[in-house]
Structure 1
Amino acid sequence: MAKVVQITAENFESEIIKASETRAVAVLFSSAEYPDCAPYSQLLGQLSTSMDFTLGVVSCDERENMQLIQMFRVRSVPEIHIVDKGQIADVLQGVLSEADLKKRLEKYYVSDESRMQNAIEEAIAAKQFDEAIPLLDEALAKTPDDKKLKLLWAKASLGMGDTEKAKDVLSKFNEGDDQYREAKSLLELLDFHAEAAKQDVQGKEAVVYHEACKLACAEDFESALQAFLNLYVEAPEWNDSAAKKAMLTLFGVLGPKHELTWKYRAKLNTMMFI
């Protein structure tokens, strides 16, 4: 439960040591004599609410707190000590930016943003795309330039069968983006995702093709290539040689030097000229 507590020698054992046995506690050492301390303390108070943790504040201006200051070996203010299971797990010295501070704290606590993202990822993993989309819209309204959220939005859109929206988002990723490689792969596999999103597929060949596309979307490329090859052997002309075209697309995704490209291109050539 989030709360901010003024820490003294009297309540240190109960509010910090005992409390840290179940969840890490952040202890801020500050002083009214240093102008950076007040706004930093306010920021930490806000983060303690959004990330749901206890913040203990020790005033370095109070002589009776000298024992605590010495025990923690405080070198400067503001200074944050993370206490986990009675031990100091981390020390954050000086004034950090809000982004850097959240990143350090997220080792021990989960922010509202991370909690939302986790819920989105879980919904997508469970193929509950209709639940993921509203959460993504809400999250992107707050951080519209978040590339990780945009990638998740594209995945959810693909899951809903809306390939045009997904394509529009994925095509805007740049090589410098952390998610570029995954976005590029999704873009190259767009037709497979569109097929995998279809419901109530009818016909023997269509079902085999559909399952192979699902394997490709899951990046089980060898199983997908084998399934497409089997379909090509059984019905080479089906749907305008869709199985062969799918294999050629996967060769492009994997690249000409990939062992699966070499292996299955040779198999495909063999079947084509028998």
Structure 2
Amino acid sequence: MGTSLAVNQQSFATEVLEKSYEKPVLVDFYATWCGPCQMLKPILETMVQEYDFVLAKVDIDENPDLANTYGVSGVPDVRIVTEGAVKPGFVGVLPEHQIRQLLEQLSLRSQLNAELEALYAEAAQGQVAESTAKLQALLEKYPNDYGLILEAANFYLEAGNHEKAETLLGIIPQYEKEYAARARGLQSLIQFQQITQLEVLSELDGMYQTAAQAALDQDYEAALQGFLAIVQRDRLYRNDAARRAMLSLFDLLGNDNPLTHQYRKQLMMAIY
């Protein structure tokens, strides 16, 4: 857990510059009249409860000299301070997952992630009931953490509790595009499990099941190759099911994954 405090011209050197030699400091230049600042504030306050850094809040109206010194022209403006050096962070409101990525780049480890790793280790050792109880406690502690909700849905999915997984995935709002895409990807795993239980009546059915099983085994390249082969052979198979399965895998892998780039291009070539 980190520290959150208000900082002014007099305390900046001690609370920000000197402290930055001990741990990273995020300086939030804000204004009380700024709407986006009020949107960013609870996100940063949540992060400082999970990660070990200092959140230094500077009201630019009360500390205009500090704002001028660091060239703050718009708020919210978040700066990163390490070893006495004040560096650019971001301006405006970033989604929570991007702020988490920023903190991870500073080699900060979330307390939540540590607790997740511990309960996953317990589950791997057969202590499923204990790890499930701890996971439920985390969901109650962080009810609005969509990353945690996705982790929990994946946990229940691997445990075979599809109903609980689908309930959790239904919590993710569609306007949270990054999380919603990952939720669709996890929902596709439930569909893949259903595919493996279908009766095989043709060669394409067999290919379809093999690709779905590869996805469940996390052999995503083999899965994409299998679904692509079906698209190339019969685009209309099961109402375009193979193409839709590939799109689900793209959601699961994320847009930055090399496999997504590679097979999205191949899918476009196969279609057009």
Give the TM-score normalised by structure 2.
0.50
What is aligned with 2:185?
A: 178
Q: Would you say the 8 A contact 2:122–2:131 is kept in 1?
A: yes
Q: Would you say the 8 A contact 2:51–2:111 is kept in 1?
A: yes
Whole-Å separation in 2 of the counterparts to 1:35 and 1:175: 29
What is aligned with 1:131?
A: 130
DSSP 3-state at the match of 2:13: helix
Q: CA deviation at 1:76?
A: 0.8
- Aligned counterparts, 1:162-177, within 5 A: 165=161, 177=184
Q: CA deviation at 1:27?
A: 0.3
Q: CA deviation at 1:152?
A: 1.6
Residue among 75, 97, 102 paired with 2:73 = 75
* Structure 1 unaligned blocks of 5 or more: 158-162, 191-218, 222-251, 256-274
With over 3 angstroms needed to count, the CA separation of the structure-2 counterparts of 1:42 and 1:132, relative to structure 1, is closer
Give the TM-score normalised by structure 1.
0.50
Q: CA RMSD in A?
A: 4.8
What is aligned with 1:232?
A: none
With over 3 angstroms needed to count, the CA separation of the structure-2 counterparts of 1:168 and 1:113, relative to structure 1, is closer
With over 3 angstroms needed to count, the CA separation of the structure-2 counterparts of 1:58 and 1:123, relative to structure 1, is same
- State yes or no: 1:85 paired with 2:83: yes
Q: Would you say the 8 A contact 1:136–1:149 is kept in 2?
A: yes
- Stretches (4+) displaced over 6 A: 172-176, 180-190
> What is the identity percentage for the equivalent residue pairs of Structure 1 and Structure 2?
19
* Structure 2 unaligned blocks of 5 or more: 170-180, 198-216, 227-272
With over 3 angstroms needed to count, the CA separation of the structure-2 counterparts of 1:25 and 1:183, relative to structure 1, is farther
- State yes or no: 1:150 paired with 2:157: no
DSSP 3-state at the match of 1:4: strand
With over 3 angstroms needed to count, the CA separation of the structure-2 counterparts of 1:7 and 1:180, relative to structure 1, is same
Letter of the structure 1 residue corresponding to residue 10 of structure 2: E
After TM superposition, the structure 1 stretch with the greater mean CA deviation from structure 2, 119-128 or 78-87, is 119-128
With over 3 angstroms needed to count, the CA separation of the structure-2 counterparts of 1:15 and 1:62, relative to structure 1, is same
Q: CA deviation at 1:77?
A: 1.0
Q: CA deviation at 1:57?
A: 1.5
Q: Would you say the 8 A contact 2:31–2:60 is kept in 1?
A: yes
Q: CA deviation at 1:74?
A: 1.9
DSSP 3-state at the match of 2:119: helix
Whole-Å separation in 1 of the counterparts to 2:10 and 2:182: 56
Q: Would you say the 8 A contact 1:30–1:60 is kept in 2?
A: yes
DSSP 3-state at the match of 1:131: helix
What is aligned with 1:196?
A: none
What is aligned with 1:22?
A: 22
Q: Would you say the 8 A contact 1:7–1:58 is kept in 2?
A: yes
* Count of paired positions: 195
Whole-Å separation in 1 of the counterparts to 2:13 and 2:145: 44
Q: CA deviation at 1:28?
A: 0.8
